[in-house]
Structure 1
Amino acid sequence: MTVHEVNFDGLIGPTHNYAGLSYGNLAATGNKGNISNPLEGVLQGIDKMMHVRSLGLVQGLFPPVDRPSLRVLRELGFKGSDEEMLVSAWTTSPELVLNLMSASSMWTANAATVTPFSDSEDGRTHFTAANLAAMYHRSTEHPTTARMLKTIFSDESRFVHHTPLPGGTHMGDEGAANHNRFCADYGEEGLSLYIYGRRAFENTRDLTFPGRQTLEASEAVARQHGAKQALFYRQSAAAINAGAFHNDVVAVCNKNVFFFHEEAFEDKAGLLTAVQKSFPDLEIEFVEVPTAQVSLNDAVKSYLFNSQLICEAGAEKMTLIAPSESAETSSVKAYLEELLDQGGPIGKVDFMDVRQSMRNGGGPACLRQRVVLSDEDLASMTGRVIMDDQLAHDLRAWARRHYRDQLDPKDLGDPLLMRESFTALDELTSLLELGTLYDFQR
């Protein structure tokens, strides 16, 4: 049986903007009010997906959620036509509309936590759409995300879908951005490492920014999935306060390689020992980046660790797909040059331009959700969501027909933008053969 780790990237939506909604995400708040380019953003994302595919990996995509969310507007008591509800909301609460027009579902690392079939007690792949309770603009995503996952991964003999966790911020679940998996090979039993920022019921006075993932939420997801092996460790307050709002801003792993910052974890020694003890017959290669070479501030600014660590087809060593900002940060560039010279498990770095996403605080790793799938799993999936040359061509043409090349946050209350967005997404679901995915289509 051939097994792949498939990267599913979030397609950047037509309302991509810089409203600065994500407290604790320094890039997002720092670019608040700037003009975005949705067309450039979606094309950058497609280019990244096709680059990963060119390296011999199976590459997939997830469509964006519908924006604005008419469901939420109705639940909040707005009445009338779609346009009337939006105008009324913009008039009475423009901040609400900014949240409901967010294109943050592009960062599919937060879409869900996925446990592969080889790691679960029942031998099926398990999905839990993240509730994203910490930030209002993201907390409205999960109903559509869950529907999308159930549509694409619909074979109940292979895939299990769990209800997003209830309980608000006490059970705050941010998805795979705080989940790592170690294994000898993708189809073999692995170890889940869940990283949390706080406990649900404690007073976290040492945190300047919110610890979005709770221990209790991580434990609940592991129970839902029947995870055979799971570890739970805490991200350091220093990392969160420096702007590492998710663990994938300070650490990334692939198979037996763990690439992380020296200050990423509260109990680094205990974590590393526990990981290695879980695989006594497998050498785990820990690549620790010292603070003396790359400060936490530079790590967050460059998004060095929000890179994809992958196994390129035919290569003996792993490839790191990093954002262009990593090459433009002097300490990070110097570290990466030294890393390659040392001859360790990472043998190549590819820099990708995803600046439209980066200005909102999302690098290459934020843009992708990893799902371990066999050839049979892939054949059972619904929709046209695995990238190939024709799909890339069709998506680029679709984006050029529908996306603006400039978007000011002040434009988000315009009913014309809403109609443009719905028209684009309606055509997209047809292009991707996903049926009536969105609330506005029902």
Structure 2
Amino acid sequence: MSGGAIREINFDGLIGPSHNYAGLSLGNLASTRNAGDVSQPRAAALQGIEKMRANLRLGLVQGVFMPLPRPNHGWLARLGADISETSHALAANAMSASAMWAANAATVSPAPDTADGRCHLTVANLKTMPHRSHEWPDTLKQLRVAFGNEAAFAVHDPVPPAFGDEGAANFMRLSTGHGDPGLELFVYGISGGPFPARQHIEASQAIARLHRLDADRTLFIQQSEEAIAAGAFHNDVVAVANERVLFAHELAFADQAATVERIGEKFDDLQYVEVGADEVPLADAISSYLFNAQLVTLPDGKQTLIVPGECRETPTVWAWLERHLAGNGPIQRVEVVDVRQSMANGGGPACLRLRVACDPADVDPRFLANEDKLDAMAACVERTWPETIDARELTSATLLKVVADARDAMLDVMDLAELREPAKVSD
């Protein structure tokens, strides 16, 4: 158990050199809409690095995760396939850079919430989508390096894949401060028109048991079917929480009023901010990713919402934010970031980061960012990341070599040679 000061660290996934628009994610409207477009991996990664840099300058602690090895030759081999000869569909799944959305890496329970006083992380199985289902072995390997201090962390294998778990994108936590005991909120789905529910209640319940949480400070909440059907494939597309504040769309949860009442009964310091459908239609909230923002506490105590540029370009959303700020609500500041390459594939600022409340001294320092490290990362991206990728040419031998060499170069920059070899998967 760590004796140091707990702070929230946002670990952003560095957007990988295989970033492409293959349109693999059913229910993710942006991913589907931009399928087949030419992506810009270099610009995408540089946008992500600038987002991390902006967070550092706000006084936040910033972490980073490395891209996973692509293509995933081991996964293809288990399917009896080879990247140079397989179908376009399998090649696209093997080349996916979706691990950049670190909110899906794991579910995290800080030490003040757990029975053994350690921070617990359970890697997500992401079983619903083929292109994401093979991420977890390499993600788990990386988590066990970053959070290898077993006195401070417990890193768990994924929930067995009969039950779908998509990580922190369907999880929220309320507390008086990041270092105080909190109320953990697990949001699960049932259905949503033609789209699958990606978070199963059984998976959420299993994680709560694995993390040894207090049942009195744990709630399981159903996401509204209307939100899923509208394209809110994860809860973080319609709701986000930070310390005392829960910020949600009016149509985020099934039986919204009763859900908020249940939360308030468990957490009496709740500051609930609801955006009405008459002010911001659900379609506008989803297309702008208003709620897929980072809601953070700055060193001066101000609750700050870090939103994508699309929020400023959506009139209903920007008008709501201006009214809230003028009315002295709980959210006191809004920062705008450019993550257009991520947004075009269906992930906003919140998708790109995993929140871990812990003592930064307990984390492997290679995963913690500073200005010099971000400069070195940006230089590596400029030098090695492909400028564009046409999703129709994912099996090009030239592209495959560029992608592999670029990742290796970044691991050298970060002194993370132990991540070079893909994780072994046992039957």
Q: TM-score by structure 2 length?
A: 0.96
CA distance in 2, matches of 1:5, 1:382: 15
Partner residue in 1 for 2:173: 181
Aligned residue type for 1:86: I
CA distance in 2, matches of 1:121, 1:431: 38
Q: 1:327 aligns with which of 287, 298, 312?
A: 312
The answer to whether the aligner puts 1:32 opposite 2:35 as a matched pair is yes
Q: In structure 1, the residue corresponding to 2:342 is in which secondary structure?
A: helix
Q: In structure 1, the residue corresponding to 2:287 is in which secondary structure?
A: helix
Written as runs of structure 1 = structure 2, the 5 A alignment for 1:13-412 is 13-78=16-81, 85-89=82-86, 93-168=87-162, 171-198=163-190, 204=191, 207-228=193-214, 229-280=217-268, 283-315=269-301, 317-374=302-359, 378-412=360-394
Aligned partners of 1:33 and 1:408 also within 8 Å: yes
Q: In structure 2, the residue corresponding to 1:59 is in which secondary structure?
A: strand
CA distance in 1, matches of 2:161, 2:376: 41
CA distance in 1, matches of 2:149, 2:422: 26
Aligned residue type for 1:241: A
Q: In structure 2, the residue corresponding to 1:231 is in which secondary structure?
A: strand
- Note the C-alpha offset of 1:440: 5.1
- Unaligned segments of structure 2, at least 5 residues: none
Aligned partners of 1:383 and 1:433 also within 8 Å: no
CA distance in 1, matches of 2:422, 2:177: 42
- Note the C-alpha offset of 1:389: 1.1
CA distance in 2, matches of 1:440, 1:130: 18
Aligned partners of 2:137 and 2:423 also within 8 Å: no
CA distance in 2, matches of 1:248, 1:381: 25
Q: In structure 2, the residue corresponding to 1:148 is in which secondary structure?
A: helix
Q: In structure 1, the residue corresponding to 2:85 is in which secondary structure?
A: helix
Aligned partners of 2:386 and 2:402 also within 8 Å: no
CA distance in 2, matches of 1:288, 1:129: 30
- Note the C-alpha offset of 1:441: 9.2
CA distance in 1, matches of 2:249, 2:89: 36
CA distance in 2, matches of 1:386, 1:195: 29
Give runs of ≥4 in structure 1 deviating > 6 Å. Answer: none
Q: What is the alpha-carbon root mean square deviation over aligned residues?
A: 1.3
CA distance in 2, matches of 1:431, 1:409: 28
Q: In structure 1, the residue corresponding to 2:305 is in which secondary structure?
A: strand
CA distance in 1, matches of 2:385, 2:94: 18
Q: Deviations over 1:127-157 (max 9, x none)?
A: 1110001100000100000000001111111
Aligned residue type for 2:318: K
Aligned residue type for 1:215: I
CA distance in 1, matches of 2:44, 2:100: 10
CA distance in 1, matches of 2:210, 2:420: 26
Aligned residue type for 1:177: A
CA distance in 1, matches of 2:423, 2:393: 24
Q: 2:409 aligns with which of 421, 427, 441?
A: 427
Aligned partners of 2:185 and 2:220 also within 8 Å: yes
The change in CA–CA distance for 1:177 and 1:333 in structure 2 (over 3 A counts) is same
Matched residue pairs, number? 419
Partner residue in 1 for 2:13: 10
Aligned partners of 1:233 and 1:267 also within 8 Å: no
Q: Deviations over 1:204-255 (max 9, x none)?
A: 5x63211110111110111111112210010001000000000000000100
- Unaligned segments of structure 1, at least 5 residues: 79-84, 199-203
Aligned residue type for 2:279: Q
Q: 2:398 aligns with which of 416, 425, 437?
A: 416
CA distance in 2, matches of 1:272, 1:105: 32
Q: TM-score by structure 1 length?
A: 0.92
Aligned partners of 1:16 and 1:36 also within 8 Å: yes
- Note the C-alpha offset of 1:383: 4.8
- Note the C-alpha offset of 1:2: 2.2
Q: Deviations over 1:187-210 (max 9, x none)?
A: 110011000012xxxxx5x63211
CA distance in 2, matches of 1:34, 1:244: 22
